[in-house]
């Protein structure tokens, strides 16, 4: 199976301008990227007002909303796929995510892949009224419920976090179910990915720790009776690794390890505005030929 290449939406560098978003998305499709990936943060924290806050992003970093951004891009493109990378699932209501994802899948013609994570920022969880300490357990339950929402007319469900009585999503998505990929590298995430997911997003560079996690994941897949060759792995190729030769080397390393997808990540990497972003995407595509 040929490796698929994705363009990571440079949300931190993208102005609040629909024309700029349109130009970037249409350029990504025209350059031949297989999919566009859009990241997620609902809120940014004021670093100066929160003692001990050490997160990589704060209130001054721009994060365009994931589902609406993908829906907009779906309307102005023809064939490029879409992925969330990664949606912080446990800080959201499961039924609402099921509804939003199903609608986006309809609008993009079944081109959606839902990448999910548990997040790193308790400030967001508190503001959204969710329990930070239970995010892992909630994610595991949510994925099982999402798959039912996307494939059944009505659902009855009784879990630790969700209770549903004879209710369903309408319209259902085109994909039944929508593919779910897990992002992150802790052991519990790897186990959940092997049991419930269609793929894994390591988030890190192709170093020794990433390769060790990949080998551990393959073991968990074997425990679940699943074939690692049919399980997706999406590597993020960060712009600041160097130049085109370095990007190509990183992709080759991941491919040799069994990765199926490589996403060119430029957000917050000092690339610049939309024109500069498009120019670097072109360099990446040329390096992969």
> Virtual CA dihedral for 141, 143, 149, 155, nearest 10 degrees?
-20
pLDDT tens string 121-140: 999 999 999 999 999 999 99
Say which range, 90-94, 202-206, 251-255, 259-263, has the weakest mean pLDDT: 202-206
CA dist list (Å): 87 to 29, 37, 109, 277: 22, 11, 20, 23
Domain ranges within the chain, ordered by starting residue: 4-288
Mean pLDDT computed over 140-162: 98
Domain boundaries 4-288, CATH class: alpha beta
Residue 238 phi, psi (nearest 5)? -80, 140
Q: Is the pLDDT of residue 1 over 80?
A: no
Structural tokens at position 246 = 């370095």
Q: Is the pLDDT of residue 201 over 70?
A: yes
Average pLDDT of every residue of the chain? 97
Residue 271 phi, psi (nearest 5)? -70, -40
The pTM of the whole model exceeds 0.95: yes
Mean pLDDT computed over 100-108: 98
- How confident is residue 278, by pLDDT bands cut at 50, 70 and 90? very high
pLDDT tens string 162-181: 999 999 999 999 999 999 99
User: Among all chains, which residue has been given the structure tokens 């967001």?
Assistant: 124
Structural tokens at position 280 = 């670097």
pLDDT tens string 30-57: 999 999 999 999 999 999 999 989 899 9
> Are the C-beta atoms of residues 16 and 271 closer than 8 Å to each other?
no
For position 208, what pLDDT does the model report? 82
């Amino acid at each position: 199976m040929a490796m698929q290449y994705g363009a990571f939406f440079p949300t931190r560098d993208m102005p609040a301008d629909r024309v700029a978003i349109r130009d970037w998305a249409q350029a990504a499709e025209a350059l031949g990227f297989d999919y566009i990936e859009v990241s997620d943060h609902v809120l940014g924290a004021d670093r100066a007002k929160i003692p001990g806050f050490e997160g990589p992003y704060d209130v001054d970093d721009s994060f365009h909303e994931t589902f609406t951004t993908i829906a907009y891009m779906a309307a102005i493109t023809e064939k490029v796929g879409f992925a969330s990378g990664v949606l912080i699932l446990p800080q959201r209501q499961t039924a609402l995510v099921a509804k939003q994802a199903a609608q986006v899948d309809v609008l993009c013609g079944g081109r959606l892949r839902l990448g999910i994570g548990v997040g790193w920022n308790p400030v967001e969880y508190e503001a959204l009224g969710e329990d930070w300490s239970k995010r892992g357990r909630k994610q595991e339950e949510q994925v099982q419920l999402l798959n039912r929402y996307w494939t059944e007319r009505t659902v009855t469900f009784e879990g630790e976090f969700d209770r549903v009585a004879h209710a369903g999503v309408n319209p259902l998505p085109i994909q039944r179910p929508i593919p779910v990929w897990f992002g992150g590298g802790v052991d519990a995430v790897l186990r959940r990915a092997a049991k419930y997911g269609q793929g894994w997003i390591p988030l890190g560079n192709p170093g020794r720790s990433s390769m060790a996690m990949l080998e551990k994941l393959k073991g968990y897949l074997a425990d679940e009776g699943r074939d690692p060759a049919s399980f997706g792995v999406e590597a993020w190729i960060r712009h600041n690794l160097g130049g085109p030769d370095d990007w190509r080397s990183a992709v080759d390393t991941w491919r040799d390890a069994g990765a199926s997808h490589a996403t060119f990540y430029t957000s917050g990497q000092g690339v610049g505005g939309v024109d500069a972003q498009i120019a670097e995407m072109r360099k990446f595509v040329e390096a992969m030929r």
